Amino acid sequence: MTRPRRSLLFLPGDDRRKIEKAITAAPDSIIMDLEDGVAVNKKADAREAVLRAISELNFGKSERIIRINALDTHFADDDIQTVIRAKPDSIIIPKVEAPDHVTYVVDRIPFAIPVIVMIETAKAVMNIKEIAAVPSLAALCFGAEDYIASVGGVRTQSNHEVAYARSVVPMCASVFNLQALDMVYVDFKDEAGLCAETRAALELGYSGKTAIHPNQIAPINETFTPSKEEIERAQKLLQAFNENQAKGAGAFAFEGKMVDMPVIRAAQNVLARVGVI
């Protein structure tokens, strides 16, 4: 069964206190960042801190992820060596713009590891189909801030400026049976805004969302977890579907509405989100 990644919490790899605090928030995934969250003169310290954290701390059920630096920096190869030593559960590669960016990393790690790639530039969006086809990928993660910088745009609360790119990521992920992970919500004090943006991500087809603060984890998890009523309705709908199939019926009425295969697939998606099917 695919590992759930509803909530993924970014934190600086060189900050042991924040790593420990992240564990108490219990996100599905904890991303120990060696890239943007760490100052240039602290990169080596961050690598050692991440190594110690993974070897010394109990992360509970949270997935341990390391985000390395982009391959066009001179930090990436040292980061890959840290991944080899630490043996995290997964790795994130930022600024991926072509399939060979993924294979470069995978070929240097002597064990199988799930790979999450950041789709966060205009070139990445243009090449997303080729990137998504690379073996070893587990998920595509959209990075809005870097993307809009790459096209010279301006970020707004409405997100209209990233609408196309944000929609392409879950569409392509579904084609290649990957998870789609949504952008961070940078105003960590605005829970209402976070909930609205997370709901929009769910409606677009995302399976999870990245976060920058522990307080964002519970709202994100709640949004991506179907309610008891949603689960029960999906189960009843699928039961009715199976009964009608046995009778040779195609479309049928359920709760006063006609049901066909798109509605059935939506119900199956609800149950898949909680691991029922």
Higher pLDDT, 1 or 195: 195
Q: How many residues does the chain have?
A: 277
Q: How far apart are CA 264 and CA 248, in angstroms?
A: 16
Tell me whether residue 235 is in a domain.
yes
Q: Is residue 68 scored above 80 in pLDDT? A: yes
Q: CATH number of the domain that 185 lies in?
A: 3.20.20.60
Same domain, 214 and 248: no
pLDDT, residue 167, reads: 98
Structural domains of the chain, count: 2
Segment 47-66 mean pLDDT = 98
pLDDT, residue 258, reads: 84
Distance from the Cα of residue 150 to its chain's centroid: 21
Q: Final residue of a domain: which of 192, 207, 224?
A: 224
Band (pLDDT 50/70/90 cuts) for residue 150 is very high
Nearest CA-CA partner of 156 in 186, 136, 201: 186
Same domain, 269 and 184: no
Q: How far apart are CA 228 and CA 152, in angstroms?
A: 44
Tell me whether residue 104 is in a domain.
yes
Band (pLDDT 50/70/90 cuts) for residue 247 is confident
Same domain, 232 and 206: no
Same domain, 69 and 141: yes
Tell me whether residue 2 is in a domain.
no
Query: What Rg do the C-alpha atoms of the chain give, in angstroms?
Result: 20
pLDDT, residue 37, reads: 94
Nearest CA-CA partner of 12 in 179, 170, 212, 177: 212
Tell me whether residue 25 is in a domain.
yes
Same domain, 87 and 14: yes
SS3 at position 205: coil
Query: Residue type for 260, please?
Result: D
Q: Is residue 273 scored above 80 in pLDDT? A: no
Q: How far apart are CA 119 and CA 251, in angstroms?
A: 39
Q: Where are the alpha helices (DSSP H) in the chain?
A: 16-25, 43-56, 76-86, 99-106, 122-126, 128-132, 144-151, 163-175, 191-204, 217-224, 228-246, 261-273
Same domain, 251 and 204: no
Q: Which residues are catalytic?
A: 260
Band (pLDDT 50/70/90 cuts) for residue 272 is confident
Q: Is residue 82 scored above 90 in pLDDT? A: yes
Q: Note the pLDDT tens digit of each residue in 87-143.
A: 999 999 999 999 999 999 999 999 999 999 999 999 999 999 999 999 999 999 999
Tell me whether residue 26 is in a domain.
yes
Is residue 79 within 8 A of residue 108, CB to CB? The reply is no
Tell me whether residue 48 is in a domain.
yes
Six-digit token pair at 218? Answer: 């519970």
Phi, psi of 171 (to 5 degrees): -60, -50
pLDDT, residue 75, reads: 98
Q: How far apart are CA 149 and CA 144, in angstroms?
A: 8
Same domain, 172 and 249: no
Domain residues for the domain of 268 are 228-273
Q: pTM surpassing 0.85?
A: yes
Tell me whether residue 1 is in a domain.
no
Same domain, 138 and 236: no
User: Nearest 5°: CA angle at 61, between 57 and 65?
Assistant: 65
Phi, psi of 92 (to 5 degrees): -115, 130
